[in-house]
Amino acid sequence: MTTQITFYISQILGLDYVSSSGMALGKIRDFLIDLTPFPGNEAEPVRPRVVAVKVKKGKETRILDFSSFEIRKFKRKLRITCLEIQDISPESFSNYLWLAENVQDKQIVDINGRKLVRVNDIRMVIIPAGTFAIAVDVGIEGLLRRIGIDQPIQALLDPFKIDIPGKFILWDDIETVDFSNSSIKLTKSSSKLNTLHPSDLADIIEDLDKASRTYIFASLDEEQAADVLEELEPHAQIHIVESLPLEKVADVLEKMPADEVADLLDALADDKAEKLLDEMEKESSEEVRELLEYPNKYVGSLMTTDFYSFHEDMTVAETLDELRRQQPEPAHIYSIIVIDKHDKFLSAISLGELVIADPGRNLKDIMKKNAVCVYDNDKVDSLAGLVSKYNLLAVPVINKNKMMEGIVVVEDIVEDLLSRRKTR
């Protein structure tokens, strides 16, 4: 029969640890866990093992090897025995974390719930293989347990058959975000944050303190960082841009749509924006500079230059094959643009219309002859009525020579209307 003991970190912090003869040696202050995954089945749950313990006697603080400690329960009370005192350095482990300093009473990310929560307690288990952290308690029960009044409160509730609500999150489903006293190195391959949708991750980053916000954003790869930066509120975007090295920010901006970059740079000081533009690749930088030249009241200030154009004589099948080859972001394709042999705008075809059309037909045969479009120097106020009247998701933008300049998507029109309403 396998012996298993469970306890909470709040029940053991501050307790005496004793020698094998029962002599008090000091008090328990913290546990160090090793986050390095054990080799084996990747599907197995992650259970970080306790490898060291921080103890204190008087003014002296030491870090001891946990392998010489023994924890037992007697009449629901914990007894901690140190069989041999062996000092150990945390740097002996490549990826470690102090539980009390970095997790207890700290904010962590609930991966499944996609939100920040505060840890009230940490559940531990002792099995023959060692002592492990298995879950965090973010419920009321954990909070009451920590301050030592859970049992009296539960006794008052027992006659009414009411239990104190508890809420646990398994260790596999959390990501710690307090890195002030740890050696955690978040990477693309190891961070659970990479499993979150950019919108969820942006919400979480906005709720973090500035130091944690910058640290987590810097750990993302460029593609994910670009997606997250797009979703952040302007104040958080500015903080991120001003907190990271110029080269890192420029690399991320190059992965974003030019219109999003233009909006972000427009909110920065001119000298900072110019430095970022100089650091970006020439092609990306020039696209952004062109958009920045449009005053806010003109359509050109809202458009994105990410669109896909095809010649009128191409067939539906050829067009779809070319789209598959280019592999654009699905969320960025509202319609395709049809152009003539001089690259002038003719019409726009929605993806739905394209998919159901006969594969052998030419684009000019299925496009609308009197297509809706706007000029880049038209007033922004004209867009809302146009989108509403024709039920459009995106509006093609052309210049005076009928050459394509970009498209304005309905989300940007709505955001512009809302932002102007807030400033009135």
pLDDT at position 219 over 70 = yes
Domain 309-423 has CATH 3.10.580.10: yes
Average pLDDT, the chain: 88
For CATH 1.25.60.10, the residue range(s) in the chain are 192-293
Which element (helix H / strand E) includes 141?
A: helix 140-146
Domain with CATH 3.10.580.10 in the chain: 309-423
> Phi first, then psi: what are they for 39, rounded to 5°?
-65, 140
For 159-229, list the strands marked E by DSSP.
168-170, 174-176
* Whole-angstrom Cα Rg for the chain: 30
Q: Out of 1.25.60.10, 1.20.1080.10, 3.20.20.70, 1.25.10.10, which CATH number does the structure's domain 192-293 have? A: 1.25.60.10
Q: What is the pLDDT of residues 162-211, one digit of tens each?
A: 887 778 999 988 888 866 555 555 444 446 888 889 999 999 999 988 88
How would you class 9 by CB atoms within 10 Å of its CB: exposed for 0-12, middle for 13-18, buried for 19 or more? buried
pTM of the prediction? Answer: 0.74
- 3-class SS at 8? strand
What pLDDT does residue 188 have?
Answer: 43
**To which H or E segment does residue 143 belong?**
helix 140-146
At how many degrees (to 10) do helices 258-266 and 282-292 cross? 60
Q: What is the pLDDT of residues 317-344, one digit of tens each?
A: 999 999 999 988 776 688 999 999 999 9
Tokens for 21? 């003869």
Q: What is the pLDDT of residues 37-78, one digit of tens each?
A: 665 555 556 689 999 999 999 999 999 999 999 999 887 789
420, amino acid identity? R
Q: What is the DSSP string of 291-313?
A: HHTS-TTBGGGT-BS---EEETT
Instruction: Give the per-residue pLDDT at 182.
Output: 56
368 closest CA partner among 340, 350, 351, 348? 348
Q: Token pair of 370, please?
A: 């009197």
Q: What is the pLDDT of residue 187?
A: 46
d(CA 282, CA 284): 6
Q: Is 41 exposed, middle or buried (0-12, 13-18, 19+ CB in 10 A)?
A: exposed
Structure tokens at 357: 């059309």
Give alpha helix (H) positions in 244-376.
Answer: 246-253, 258-266, 270-279, 282-292, 316-326, 351-356, 363-366
The Cα 240–Cα 246 span in angstroms is 11
Q: What is the pLDDT of residue 286?
A: 93
Cβ neighbors of 411 (< 8 A, separation 6 or more) are: none
Any idea what the Cα angle at residue 297 is, between residues 296 and 298, rounded to 5°?
Answer: 95
